[in-house]
Structure 1
Amino acid sequence: MKWDQLSDDWCPIARATSIVGDRWTLLIVRDCFLGVSKFDDFQKNLGITRHVLAQRLKRLVAVGVLEKKAYQSRPERFDYMLTERGKELGHVLEALRLWGREHLSIRRQAGIGETIDE
């Protein structure tokens, strides 16, 4: 089954994955929850290419997760804001955050010869 065919699948998890299941989309939504709303800020925070970011934002707007609001007319620029549908993804992000914290600890260098598990 191709990725774009999941939107018609009988399984609600498959249908949801067709919208938020790639590596960038949930990070864009996460950034929205953290107050990011401008294209350049998403691009800077995520290190995502402009082309891929534009595609993901367009898709999130098309499916009603985000809405575009113009904040400048020349050149035309937009804020991307969570809709009510988008805000409901907060539960998904929180579940992923908790699962990641519990099962995917990171090791950071604390100082010379000392590590910290998180």
Structure 2
Amino acid sequence: MLILICGIGAIIGSFMLRASAHDHINKVFGYRTKRSMKNRKLWEISQVYAAKMMLFAGIANGFIGGLIMIATRFFPYKNEYYLFIELLWVIVMWSLVFALTEKKLKEADND
């Protein structure tokens, strides 16, 4: 269930980031890291690229979360560590979004 909820949240966040891509650099909303706030060009790149990655992660999490919900209807889990496995998956997906976005920013900053 956690994976599905985080997937839906990531999809909504993706649309919000895309909407803020052309706004001014701010310290309240958007993909904010030291590198992304360095200049306007990197700010726009970070917002658009992070939005794409979040959309992909959201769709993947939504799909996987939906499959898990369907599977648990037929095969109920009896493992108390199930929540920790879901949480680990969500952390891995968000870490990938962050790492790929920072890699893209580093490449853009070097150009």
TM range (shorter): under 0.3
Q: Give the alignment's TM-score, normalised by structure 2.
A: 0.26
Q: Comparing both chains, which one has the higher relative contact order based on Cα–Cα distances under 8 Å and sequence gaps of 6 or more?
A: 2
More strand by share: 1
Q: Give the alignment's TM-score, normalised by structure 1.
A: 0.25
More helix by share: 2
